[in-house]
Amino acid sequence: MYSRRATKALRDLPAQAAHDAVLVVAGLAAGDEALWHQAKRVARPRTPMFSARVGIHYRAIFQLRDGVMIVLDVLHRKDFERMVMRA
């Protein structure tokens, strides 16, 4: 499931980055072990979140709730670092 913020982010991304993000999210949702090994838990937020690399410039931020993967946002790497510092 994609949040409104993630849906908007995907529309605003360059086409290739949006394509890559959807493939990464689909792979994670399908249980792709290689992608899960690359996903990292975001250390600071109060609510457990994970980050998955999308190309070299973007990150997909997601949570797992009751067995459902919720994509919260897809953002540029520099914005991800700021988000972690704020959380």
Give the pLDDT score at 86: 58
* Whether pLDDT at 4 is above 90: yes
CATH number of the domain that residue 67 is part of:
3.30.2310.20
- What are 39-50's pLDDT values in tens digits? 998 876 677 889
Give the pLDDT score at 18: 95
User: Could you tell me the two tokens for 34?
Assistant: 């290689």
Q: What is the mean pLDDT of the chain?
A: 88
* Whether pLDDT at 24 is above 70: yes
Tell me which residue range forms the domain holding 35.
4-86
Phi, psi of 47 (to 5 degrees): -90, 130
* Whether pLDDT at 84 is above 90: no
How far apart (Å, rounded) are the C-alpha atoms in residues 42 and 9?
19
* Structural domains in the chain (count): 1
